[in-house]
A and B are shown apart, each in its own frame.
Chain A
Amino acid sequence: MSIDVAIVGGGPAGLTAAADLAARGLEVVVLERESAAGGIPRHSDHLGYGIRDLRTVLTGPAYARRLVQSAIAAGAQIRTETMVTGWAGQRTLETTSPRGRERIESGAVILATGARERPRSARLIPGDRPSGVYTTGHLQNAVTLAHRTVGSRAVIVGAELVSYSAVLTLRHGGCHTVLMTTEHHRPESYTAFTTAARAGLGVKVATRTRVVRIVGSPALRAVEIENLDTGARRTVDCDTLVLTGDWVPDHELARSAGLDMDRRSLGPLVDTALRTSRPGVFAIGNLVHPVDTADAAALDGRHVAAHVLAHLDGRSRPAGGVRLLAEAPLRWVSPAILPPDDPAPPRGRLLAWTDTLVRFPTVVVRQDEVVLARRRLPWPASPGRIFRIPAAVVAAADPDGGTVTVSLS
């Protein structure tokens, strides 16, 4: 089959792009490998969704349903249980579904495959391999969608937004969180969450702490934790361990296409129009900035629509562009290419990820050893969540100049 736009991934970003493009009269197909579209919010059964994009506050499942309904109402086709398994051309996708194998040719492809949390193995946490060890995704799928119970005493690795989402899910499943650990000096989440969790849920956070051993066979019995400063170790009894955060983009399709990749974020390199290195292939959402909140990811979908239309109208991506590079303590910045045709990034913001807490950050932008901008921001740069930088700081970049660096002081 041949269509205008194929969107890979039916999460908030993909669905929002689908609704916008279908409303402009294009033939749009969303390819979703799960049995229902909606993405991660489907199994995050608590409030906090839809604030920036829908100007309302919904639970994750309600938000997911709303995005699906909007896409369908706009005329997009959503194909569930349909997994894109590879490429058969520049913008031709191979899929498998219960209906068979298919090739889908399209005028434009939008990759919206999202991100996943690193599992225990990828974090190199040693020890036994018992049951009872989860990522947040696994946990929430089990509790929210499959209505399963987990244990009764949980340790959570991480203290960022998703970690508190895990606390709520565990509580819903009748499991008490006895400890959260973070390698940072302070919890990564907003103070409001941390305080509420301590007061309302009785959750303690052990800072500067990592899990160094998993104990138990066949079921989890305990974890051994270590204080990073003193080296002191102790054992915490638990039957549930949830590994939260530490996001890695689901970049398999992007890499198998041979797209230019960002070695820091591990997502495909995109410019401010969310164009990848292959003409007509776009990348949006947490695939390119692992991870922002669902509403912000969704707004990428709205942003990309005009650029997809421009591509379909035959306006090609201009050659060249200036590379943006994050410098410590920033790990990555996205979008990381300023194209010569100079569209603004989504919401007029550059997104960045910091490895250490900077409470009163000043953003410093340099090109060819000249400081282009120095701007004090009123919000902190905290590990575990996106740091937003007004795109105006790169407005003075010379499109014919060298790499532009972004750092904090």
Chain B
Amino acid sequence: MTADYDVAVIGAGIVGSAIARELAGHQLSVALVDACDDVGDGTSKANTAILHTGFDAKPATLESRLVRRGYRLLSDYAAPTGIPIERTGAILVAWDAEQLATLPALKDQAAANEYHRCELVDAATVYQRLPHLGPGALGGLTVPDESIICTWTVNLALATDAVNRGATLLLGHRVESVDTASPRTTLHTTAGPVTAGWVINAAGLGADHIDGQFGYSRFTVTPRRGELIVYDKLARRLVDTIVLPVPTSRGKGVLISPTIYGNVMLGPTSEDLTDPTATGTTQQGLKSLLDKGSRLMPELLDEEITATYAGLRAAIDRADYLIDADPAQRYLLVGGIRSTGLTAGMAIAEHVLGLLREAGLQPEPVAALPDPPRMPNLGEAFTRPYQDSGAIGADPSYGRIVCFCERVTEGELRDACRSMIAPPGIDGLRRRTRVMNGRCQGFFCGAEVQSIFEALR
């Protein structure tokens, strides 16, 4: 028997999960379909994890509006779900005359994006805020509300909420072809057919491929590789604010940011590729990061490196989100969602619902929705189980630290394995608990974590 839904959302990243959650809050049967065996295993897992104010968006675009709205929605959603956010603020630092001259225009641009709290500051103020910055900064622009967030928890909270609201999560369902015969559309997936009234394409790196299945060739997704270096927690004393580059005609530099896990991140590089699976790091990429980092913050390079990553962004050949409904085929594209999608996701979901209403779908809201899920805290700035006497008293497994570097307890590993969307493997467990993400990368705990995971699943 073929599973049949009112709406199928392709892609269980942050955007797809937010859409599925929004729609499942209405009288609709919703399927959330993903090719991978875990949620958030594509572009969503390796972005720069910044909650953006949208100060630097292109004014009057859909992206500008949705990032602004999404910032508020996600900030509000973070409180009941326990998604960790730290309001670190950001400073754009100008290193040459051209960059310095660009700052006032960026302040105006922020205002055009309805963000009015940017301030131009002189070099002395920059160094006061960032005493470990390398020499040569000429001035800066502050963005007090830029924040750091846990991208993994955002994705999991939204997807868990969608499932709690009744959406069906279909992982390991890679869409290979689409049969658009009216009145139902059938997605032929690697795990069998999925039939739906409406199909929403939030497939990220695969969105152009799916779009082609509906007869379109309106855009091409270019996998844009960004390599990142994550420094040891002992580096966190060097920087408590996001240090942003000033975009100029000669391109964009790299940023230095505290991470929500208590580390410091340097990156990303930016390199257009053709292979959407090329998530490896490169010698040139890492070298270029070290070169740039040594000028931005020389002391940072004295600290130990905890991890290196390469993430892919779904770049498209236009300057705005491409969100468009095709009522005739009951098909809606959510394309070109770059790294701002982490912030904008929930607003994109609202926008999608609006477009569906315009197209004639008039679902009634569900009267009594379940509470949002309470997610385990992965934020270093907030209390974690190993610090919580009450939690350990009630359950000693929260006092049994398995991963020493990240201080992850056996109780947290168990909770993750028993959660609504359980991890399919160690990588998924890492994103749910931080286990093995620390400075030793498994030297001490790797074997034990594997054994615990296998015993629990």
User: A residues bordering B, Cβ < 8 Å?
Assistant: 33-34, 81, 83, 85, 96-101, 116-122, 124, 126-129, 131, 134-135, 137-138, 141-142, 145-146, 148, 212-214, 217, 248, 252, 255-256, 263
Question: B372-396 vs A: 1/0 string, CB under 8 Å?
Answer: 0000000000000011010011001
B115 part of interface (Cβ distance < 8 Å): no
Check B447 against A128 for contact (C-beta < 8 Å).
no
**CB nearest neighbor in B for A127:** B280
The reply on B119 being an interface residue by CB < 8 A is: no
Minimal Cβ-Cβ distance residue in B for A124: B286
Q: Judge if B139 is at the interface, Cβ distance under 8 Å.
A: no
Q: B270-309 toward A: CB 8 Å interface, digit per residue (1/0)? A: 0000000101111101100010000000000010111111
A217 and B277 contact, Cβ closer than 8 Å, known pairs A85-B387, A98-B397, A126-B282: yes
Let me know if B399 and A141 touch, CB within 8 A: no
Is the beta-carbon distance between B280 and A116 smaller than 8 angstroms? no
Q: Which of B283, B389, B444 has the most CB of A within 10 A?
A: B444
Residue B2, interface by CB 8 Å: no
Question: Does the CB pair B444–A141 fall under 8 Å?
Answer: yes
The yes or no answer to B313 lying at the interface (CB within 8 A) is no
B238 → chain A closest CB, angstroms: 13
Tell me if B400 counts as interface (CB < 8 A to partner A): yes
Asked, given contacts A83-B401, A116-B440, A148-B450, whether A121 binds B279 with beta carbons under 8 Å apart, the answer is no
Q: Is B415 an interface residue (CB 8 A)?
A: no
Complex Cα spacing A81 to B396, Å: 11
Contact across chains for B397 and A128 when beta carbons are under 8 A apart: no
Contact A100 B392 (CB under 8 A): yes
Contact yes or no, B308 A121, CB < 8 A: yes
Whole-angstrom CA separation of A124 from B277 in the bound complex: 21
Q: Please tell me if the beta carbons of A248 and B304 are within 8 angstroms of each other in the complex.
A: yes
A120: contacting residue among B282, B399, B400, B441, CB under 8 A: B441
Shortest Cβ gap from A136 to chain B (Å):
8
Q: What are 5 A-to-B residue pairs whose CB atoms are below 8 Å?
A: A83-B407, A97-B400, A118-B304, A119-B440, A137-B440
Contacts A85-B386, A135-B443, A252-B234 given; does A97 touch B448 at CB 8 Å: no
- Asked, given contacts A83-B401, A97-B399, A101-B392, whether A148 binds B279 with beta carbons under 8 Å apart, the answer is no
- The docked-state distance in angstroms from the alpha carbon of A86 to that of B283 is 37
In the complex, residue of chain B having the shortest beta-carbon distance to the beta carbon of A137: B443
A146:B399 contact, CB within 8 angstroms: no
Count chain A CB atoms within 10 A of each CB in B392, B393, B443 and give the residue with the most: B443
Q: Is the CB of A126 within 8 A of B401?
A: no
Tell me if B304 and A122 are in contact (CB < 8 A). yes
Within 8 Å by CB of B306, from A121, A146, A214, A256, lies A121
Give Cα distance in the complex from A134 to B283, angstroms.
Answer: 20
Chain B neighbourhood of A119, CB < 8 A: 440-443
Contacts of A116 in B (CB 8 A): 439-440, 443-444
Q: A129-B279, A217-B277, A252-B234 are contacts. A142–B446 as well, Cβ < 8 Å? A: yes
Q: Which residues of A contact B441 (CB under 8 A)?
A: 119-122, 135, 138
Chain B hits for A128, CB < 8 A: 279-280
CB pair A124 B305 closer than 8 Å: yes
**Chain A residue with minimal CB distance to B396?**
A98
Q: Does B404 contact A (CB under 8 A)?
A: yes
Least Cβ–Cβ distance between B284 and chain A, in angstroms: 9
Does B451 belong to the interface (CB within 8 Å)?
A: yes
Q: Which residues of B contact A (CB under 8 A)?
A: 230, 233-234, 277, 279-283, 285-286, 290, 302, 304-309, 386-387, 389, 392-393, 396-397, 399-401, 404, 407, 426, 439-444, 446-448, 450-451
A213 and B451 alpha carbons, distance in the complex (Å)? 29
Structural contact, A126 and B283, CB atoms closer than 8 A: yes
Residues of A within 8 A of B393 (CB): 100
Q: Name A121's contact: one of B305, B397, B404 (CB within 8 Å).
A: B305
Inter-chain contacts of A142 with B (CB < 8 A)? 446-447, 450
- In the complex the two chains form, what is the Cα distance from A214 to B285 in whole Å? 15
Residues of B within 8 A of A121 (CB): 230, 305-308, 441
Cα distance, A118 to B443, chains bound together (Å): 9
B231 to chain A, nearest CB (A): 10
User: A101 touching B387 by the CB < 8 A rule?
Assistant: yes
List chain A residues, Cβ under 8 A from B387.
Answer: 85, 96, 101
Which residues of B have CB within 8 Å of A138?
441-444, 446-447
Q: Which of B306, B389, B442, B451 has the most CB of A within 10 A?
A: B442
Chain B residues within an 8 Å CB radius of A100:
389, 392-393, 399
Complex CA–CA separation, A64 to B364 (angstroms)? 67
A127 touches B444 (CB 8 A): no
| CB closest residue in chain B, given A122 | B305
Contact, CB under 8 Å: B443 / A129: no
**A179 CB to nearest B CB, Å:** 20
Q: Which residues of chain A come closer than 8 Å to B233, judged between CB atoms?
A: 252
Whole-angstrom distance between the Cβ of B254 and the nearest chain A Cβ = 16
- A117, B407: Cβ atoms under 8 Å? no
Q: Select from chain B the residue with minimum beta-carbon distance to A118.
A: B304
Instruction: State in angstroms the CA–CA spacing of A104 and B447 once bound together.
Output: 30
| Apart from A83-B386, A98-B396: 13 A-B pairs, beta carbons within 8 A | A96-B386, A96-B407, A97-B399, A98-B392, A101-B399, A116-B440, A122-B306, A124-B286, A124-B290, A126-B285, A134-B442, A138-B441, A142-B446
A146 touches B448 (CB 8 A): yes
Residues of B close to A137: CB separation below 8 A: 440, 443-444
In the assembled complex, the Cα of A255 lies from the Cα of B236 at a distance in Å of 13
Please pick, from B234, B282, B283, B396, the residue contacting A99 in the complex, using a CB distance under 8 A.
B396
- Cβ of A259 to closest chain B Cβ, rounded Å: 13
Bound complex: CA A291 to CA B233 (Å): 23
Contact B446 A134 (CB under 8 A): yes
Q: Measured between alpha carbons, how far is A394 from B393 in the docked complex, in Å?
A: 54
| Nearest CB in chain A to that of B281: its residue | A126
The answer, among A98, A101, A126, A131, for a CB contact under 8 Å with B286, is A126
Inter-chain CA distance A99–B230, complex, in Å, is 33
List the B side residues contacting A101 at CB < 8 Å. 387, 389, 392, 399
Do A98 and B443 have beta carbons less than 8 Å apart? no
Contacts of A145 in B (CB 8 A): 447
- Determine how close the nearest CB of chain A comes to the CB of B257; give it in whole angstroms: 18
Decide: B442 and A135 in contact? CB cutoff 8 A.
yes
Partner of A98, one of B308, B400, B444: B400
Q: Which residues of chain A come closer than 8 Å to B304, judged between CB atoms? A: 118, 122, 248
A126 CA / B447 CA spacing, docked (Å): 23
Closest 9 CB pairs of A and B: A119-B441, A98-B396, A142-B447, A141-B447, A137-B443, A138-B446, A98-B399, A146-B447, A126-B281
Least CB distance, A284 to chain B, in whole angstroms: 19
- Residues of A within 8 Å of B401, CB to CB, are 33, 81, 83, 96
> Which of B401, B407, B447 has the largest number of chain A CB atoms within 10 A?
B447
- Report the separation of the CA atoms of residues A85 and B305 in the bound assembly, to the nearest whole angstrom: 21
Contacts of B443 in A (CB 8 A): 116-117, 119, 135, 137-138
Which residue, B279, B281, B305, has most C-beta atoms of chain A within 10 A?
B281
